A and B are shown apart, each in its own frame.
Chain A
Amino acid sequence: MNPSFESFLVLIISLEISIKPSLVTNLLIIIFALIYLIIRKIKIKSLLTLIFVPFIAAFTIFATLFWFSPKPDLYYALNLSTRVYVYTLTISCVTIDTDETKLARSLEQNIHLPSKFAYGVLAALNIVPRMREAVQQIRTAGMMRGVYLSFWSPVLYFKAILVALNSAENLAQGMESHGYVEGKERSVIIPIPVKKSDWIISAVILIIVNISLFMFK
Chain B
Amino acid sequence: MVKKMTEIISKNLNFSYDNKTKILDNLNLTIPSGKFSLLIGPTGCGKSTFLKLLAGLYPKYAGKASGKIDLGNLKKAMMFQNAGEQFTMETPRQEIIFALENLQVNKNEYEKRLHKAVAFTKIDKLLDQKIVTLSGGEQQKVALAVLVAMNVDIFLLDEPFASCDPEARKFLIKKLANLRDQGKTIILSDHVLSDYEEVCDDLFKFTGKKIVQLTENEKNNLLQANNKKANYTFSIPNENNASVFTLQNTEIKQNRLLLKQSKLKIYKGKTTLITGPNGVGKTSLFKALTKMIPYSGSLTYKNKEIGKLKARKYLLQVAQIFQNATDQFLNITVKDEINLSKKNRKNKFFSDDKINEALAYLDLANHLDQVVYSLSGGQKKKLQILLMLISDQEVLLIDEPLSGLDHNSTKKVTHLMRESQKQRKQTFLIISHELEGLAEWCDYRLVFNHQKLEYVNK
Using a CB–CB cutoff of 8 Å, the interface residues on chain A facing chain B are 101, 119, 122-123, 126, 129-130, 133-134, 136-138, 140-148, 155, 159, 162-163, 166-167, 169-181, 184-190
Contacts and interface: CB of A to CB of B under 8 A. Distances in A.
Contacts, number: 142
A119 B88 contact: yes
B86 A145 contact: no
A179 B90 contact: no
Contacts of B319: 144-145
A174 B86 contact: yes
Interface string B262-304: 0000000000000000000000000000111000000000000
Interface in B360-396: 373, 387-388, 391, 393
Contacts of A188: 101, 107
B225 interface: no
Contact of A174 (B80, B90, B326): B80
A189 B113 CA distance: 12
B89 A144 contact: no
A176 B57 contact: yes
B196 interface: no
Q: Assign chain B's interface to a size class.
A: 35 or more
B92 to A, nearest CB: 12
Contact of A123 (B88, B97, B315, B320): B88
Contacts of A136: 292
Contact of B150 (A133, A148, A170, A179): A179
B240 interface: no
A177 B52 CA distance: 10
Interface of B is mostly: mixed
B104 A185 contact: yes
A142 B311 CA distance: 11
B320 A144 contact: yes
6 contacts: A141-B322, A146-B343, A177-B77, A185-B104, A186-B102, A189-B101
B216 interface: no
Contacts of A147: 330, 340
Given A166-B373, A181-B102, A186-B102, A137 B327 contact: yes
A173 B88 contact: no
B17 to A, nearest CB: 14
Given A140-B320, A142-B330, A181-B102, 11 more contacts: A126-B87, A136-B292, A144-B393, A167-B85, A170-B80, A171-B88, A174-B80, A176-B60, A179-B77, A179-B100, A187-B100
